[in-house]
Amino acid sequence: MKLTKHSWLFLFIACLIAGFFIVYNFFNPRYPDKVINEGACYVENKTNKLSILLYCNSSDYFLYKGMPIGFQYELLKMMGNSLDMEISITYSDSPDFIKEHLHGSDYDIIAIDVDSTELGKRSLVFSLSHSSSYPVLVQRIEDESASLRKILYVPAHFPGTIVLDSIPGDDEFVIMRSSTMEADEMFGLLQDGKIHYLVSDYNTAITLLPFYSDLKISNQIGATYRRKWILNPANKKINDLINNWLTNFKQTADYQKLCTKYFSPKSKFLHNASVEKRHGRISQYDKIIKKYAKKQHLDWRFVSSIIFQESRFTSDGLGVGGSFGIMQLMPETAARYGIDSTSNIEQQLWAGIQLISFLNKLFIDIEDEMERSYFVAASYNAGPGHIIDACNLCRKFGDNYQLWENVKVYLALKSEKEFYNDPVVKNGYYPGRHTIRYTQQVMERYQAYKITLPR
């Protein structure tokens, strides 16, 4: 059949309309949980869990008496509790690693200060400010001589803008920016007299100065800037919750206490924390834990995280069911290793580490060492039988039983009759949510220990 002129026109218009809908549907509306933002695709988080990537700098994260603390660490935890949302924190001391995740949905919050000049053309979504800081000049107390070379060293990834006009003799200064060296390392060089002038943000400086009695802040050398979290653009509801919480919380006395705790030059907490941090340790039992952990081919920091969770390194606690001592071993388990409540702390540590080693070997088919640690920590709390039950359920229902994220779902389901009566379950009913929280806390702390302390 021969097409008329009008038929060709109709066919052309129909093709245009079809093409429009193909392109339109490809980029947006059929996927309301996705946002296309300058080439990056962001997916909305519809769970009750906030995934956070935290940059571990000196003021926002460090260890004190075996416990992770820091301004942003505490602030994020407070927010999670207030919003009744589960907080999962990934720690990193690499700004480059963090910046690889700026344009994606792996994290709902990325807690790092970013220099806006580094962002290029790609836009980011920021929260309201959670705090502020400003650039300061740090130098040795006795270095007042005009003969010193006026080289002003700036750490890598420094977020503030430096204004030399505020420094006496500013025309004599030459700025030297590092592409790799962070502020913590530069403070050490300054203390040793290898450099004479250093730029730091105020928050970092006030946290580190208690470690370095020969150093001082001499000038503010730039404007105050607001510190903000980087958010996932697709999380419109969650982002509104975060911003509303920040608005309200910053008006409270708790927020003022938090700022005073971390940012006041007179903070006794910072002084005490610096004394503890100088030791570079988790507890007074580090040496013993390292000795026995090494014999069992375990990471002593993982062992220490379990011990902290069980007893906070105290030995006089008595738990539910009669668990005792620094490792909170049950009497029947302790007897298996030849100890009881009268055994000394080193014997208790030896027995507990033997148990952790046994659990590690029990799950040796999980090849990824970090993944296996979740199963070991959970088994230390619940007993391996309940964790194996959850693995069996996971396998039965077609999920990967070697991933803790999958297995913990079935551990929680073991409190429901349909699941604890399943033929693959051998250990019956178990309320697994406590163990899931326990495991998350152990692993989060372990990850924090790995960032801070050498193996």
| Domain assignment present for 7 | no
Instruction: Please report the pLDDT score of residue 137 as a whole number.
Output: 92
Least confident of 140-144, 345-349, 450-454: 140-144
Nearest-angstrom CA–CA distance, 378 and 356: 11
* Domain of residue 247, residue span: 41-131+227-271
Q: Across the strands, what pairs with 72?
A: none
Same domain, 120 and 263: yes
Same domain, 122 and 107: yes
| Domain assignment present for 28 | no
| Domain assignment present for 18 | no
Q: What is the DSSP string of 53-79?
A: EEE--TTT-EEETTEEE-HHHHHHHHH
Q: Is 196 left (phi over 0), alpha (psi -120 to 50) or beta?
A: alpha
Same domain, 215 and 330: no
| Domain assignment present for 328 | yes
Same domain, 162 and 263: no
Residue 199, domain CATH: 3.40.190.10
Residue 362, domain CATH: 1.10.530.10
Nearest-angstrom CA–CA distance, 229 and 242: 10
| Domain assignment present for 16 | no
Same domain, 86 and 175: no
Nearest-angstrom CA–CA distance, 76 and 227: 14
Same domain, 433 and 407: yes
Work out the average pLDDT over 410-423. Answer: 96
Residue ending a domain, choose from 247, 271, 295 = 271
Same domain, 338 and 444: yes
Nearest-angstrom CA–CA distance, 101 and 20: 32
Alpha-helix runs per DSSP H in 64-133: 71-83, 95-99
| Domain assignment present for 394 | yes
Q: Which of 182, 214, 183, 202 is nearest to 262 (CA)?
A: 202
Model pLDDT for residues 84-138, shown as the tens digit of each residue: 998 888 888 888 888 888 888 899 999 998 865 555 446 789 999 999 999 999 9
Q: Which of 5, 102, 98 is nearest to 60 (CA)?
A: 98
Same domain, 54 and 110: yes
Same domain, 254 and 391: no
Same domain, 126 and 149: no
Number of domains in the chain: 3
Same domain, 249 and 387: no
Same domain, 253 and 304: no
Residues 73/54, Cβ–Cβ less than 8 Å: yes
Work out the average pLDDT over 416-436. Answer: 95
445 vs 241, more confident? 241
Q: What is the pTM of this model?
A: 0.73
Average pLDDT score over the chain:
85
Tokens (6 digits) for 8: 């060709």
| Domain assignment present for 11 | no
Residue ending a domain, choose from 215, 238, 271 = 271
Instruction: Please report the pLDDT score of residue 409 as a whole number.
Output: 96
| Domain assignment present for 232 | yes
Residue ending a domain, choose from 271, 306, 339 = 271
Model pLDDT for residues 24-79, shown as the tens digit of each residue: 444 444 434 566 555 567 899 999 999 999 988 777 877 777 777 889 999 999 99
Model pLDDT for residues 309-360, shown as the tens digit of each residue: 999 898 887 776 789 999 999 999 999 999 999 999 999 999 999 999 999 9
Alpha-helix runs per DSSP H in 192-299: 202-208, 236-249, 253-263, 268-278, 286-295
Tokens (6 digits) for 393: 């359920």
